[in-house]
Amino acid sequence: MHVVNTWRVAMRENQKSFRLRNGSPSLAVLCPLVLFFVACAYPADTVTSTLLIGNSRIDVTMEEGQLHASKEDVMKWVQWSAESVAGYYGRFPVPHIVLRIIPTDGSGVRGGRTFGDHGGHISIHVGSNTTWPDFADDWMLTHEMVHLAFPSVDDNHHWIEEGIATYVEPFARVRAHHMDANQMWFEVVRDLPKGLPESGDRGLDHTHTWGRTYWGGALFCFLADLEIHQKTENRQGLQDALRGILDAGGDIRQDWDLEKALDAGDRATGVAVLHPLYDKMKDQPYNVDLPAMWTQLGIERDGHTVRFIDSAPLAKTRDAMTYGSASPAAKPISALENLTIFAGRTSTPTNR
C-alpha cells in the first residue's frame, strides 16, 4: 500500500523529527564514495549548494531567515551527517534528495521531517544562533537521513522505522569519527531502558507509546545486533542486515510488508535473527535483563560516561558492534573524509 503524505512524530527529549513517506520507483546506485561541493543556481533569498556523494546528490536550500553560523559550518554539518549515513550503509541511501534548512529563533536543531515522495526530501529547522559546536553535537540530521534507508511499512510497524533511526544514528556517527564511543554507549545504557515494556504492554505492533515506538524499536535493533554478532562470531551485525534490505531495493520510496524487509535482512546475514525476534516481540511484552547484558559486554556506567571492561565475556562483541569491521585501536581516517573535495559555493544577492 502506498502512503501519500502521512506524517509521523518522533521526539528525543524535547526535540522532534518527522518522517513523511511516499513510494516511487527505485534506482539502484552502486558507486565508489566521493564527496564534493558544487555551486548551482538559486532564487532570491535562498542559498543552494549541492553535495555529491558517489552517484547521489543532496541539494541544500537555505530558506528565508538569518543564521549567524557561516555557510561553511552549515555545509560541514550536512557533510558530516551524509558521511555518517553513507559510511554505515556503504552508500547514500537514495539517488537524490532536497534538504531544506529553515532558520528559526533560538539555537540548535529543532526538528526535521523526511519525505519519500519526489525521490526524497528533508526539511529541518535550525535556530538562528546555532554555532558550530551545536552542529557538531547534532544527532537529528543523521537520524533523518537514516530514515531514507528503510522501506515504508504499515502504521502499526512505525516502531521499526523510528527504532532503526534511533539506534543506527549514534553508531554511524562513531564510525565516521563524529562521536565518541564512550559517550555513545553512555547514552545507549541510559536511554535503552525507556524501550522496555511496562504494565499493559501488548507488544511492539500494538503499544504505540513514545518509549515503545522509539526506544522499543531501538531495543529490537540492539538485541538483533547482539544476536547476529554472536551467531556469526562477530563477522556480521545489524549493519549487514540493513545493507541487505537497502540493496534489495528497500528505501523510503518503497512500500513493503515488514516481514519482507526482515526476511531480506536475514538473507543478507545468513542467520535467522530479525524475523524470529519480531515474532517474539510483536504481540506480547518481551522482557530483557539489560544490566546483565551490560556486564557481559563489559560496559560499566561511571558518572556521565562509561568504562569498558576488556576482560568481559563479550568485550570483543562490544567492539565489533561499535566499530564494525574497523579496529578501534587503529582509528583509521574515514575514506569519505579523504575523498572530500570542496569545489565552490553560492552567495546570496538579496536586499533586506
Residue 66, pLDDT score: 87
Residue 257, pLDDT score: 98
Cell representation of residue 163: 527504532
Reported as a single tens digit per residue, the pLDDT across 118-140 is 889 999 999 999 999 999 999 99
Residue 6, pLDDT score: 32
Crossing angle between the packed helical segments 181-191 and 158-175, to the nearest 10 degrees: 160
Residue 251, pLDDT score: 97
**Cβ of 8: how many Cβ atoms within 10 Å?**
17
In this predicted structure, which of 158-167, 226-235, 325-334 has the lowest mean pLDDT? Answer: 325-334
Rg (CA), the chain: 20
What is the greatest pairwise CA distance in the chain? 64
Reported as a single tens digit per residue, the pLDDT across 57-86 is 999 998 888 899 998 999 999 999 999 999
Phi-psi region of 102 (alpha: psi -120 to 50; beta: other; left: phi over 0): beta
Residue 17, pLDDT score: 54
39 has pLDDT over 60: no
What letter represents residue 47's amino acid?
V
What three-state secondary structure class fits 110?
Answer: strand
Reported as a single tens digit per residue, the pLDDT across 267-290 is 999 999 999 999 999 999 998 999
Residue 82, pLDDT score: 97
Q: At CA 165, angle to CA 308 and CA 88, rounded to 5? A: 65
Residue 23, pLDDT score: 38
Residue 73 burial class via C-beta count within 10 angstroms: exposed 0-12, middle 13-18, buried 19 and up: middle
11 has pLDDT over 90: no
Residue 54, pLDDT score: 87
Question: Which of the 8 DSSP states describes residue 303?
Answer: T
Q: What pTM value is reported for the model?
A: 0.84
Reported as a single tens digit per residue, the pLDDT across 188-200 is 999 999 999 999 9
What letter represents residue 270's amino acid?
G
E strand or H helix at 185: helix 181-191
Q: What percent of the chain has pLDDT over 70?
A: 79
Query: Can you tell me the mean pLDDT for 319-331?
Result: 69
E strand or H helix at 109: strand 109-115
E strand or H helix at 281: helix 274-281
Distance between CA atoms of 219 and 27, rounded to whole angstroms? 31
Contact 150, 120 (CB under 8 A): no
Q: Which of 334, 335, 345 is nearest to 74 (CA)?
A: 345
In this predicted structure, which of 13-22, 319-328, 337-346 has the lowest mean pLDDT? Answer: 337-346
Residue 64, pLDDT score: 82
Q: Which of 221, 205, 72 is nearest to 146 (CA)?
A: 221
70 phi and psi angles, rounded to 5 deg: -75, 160
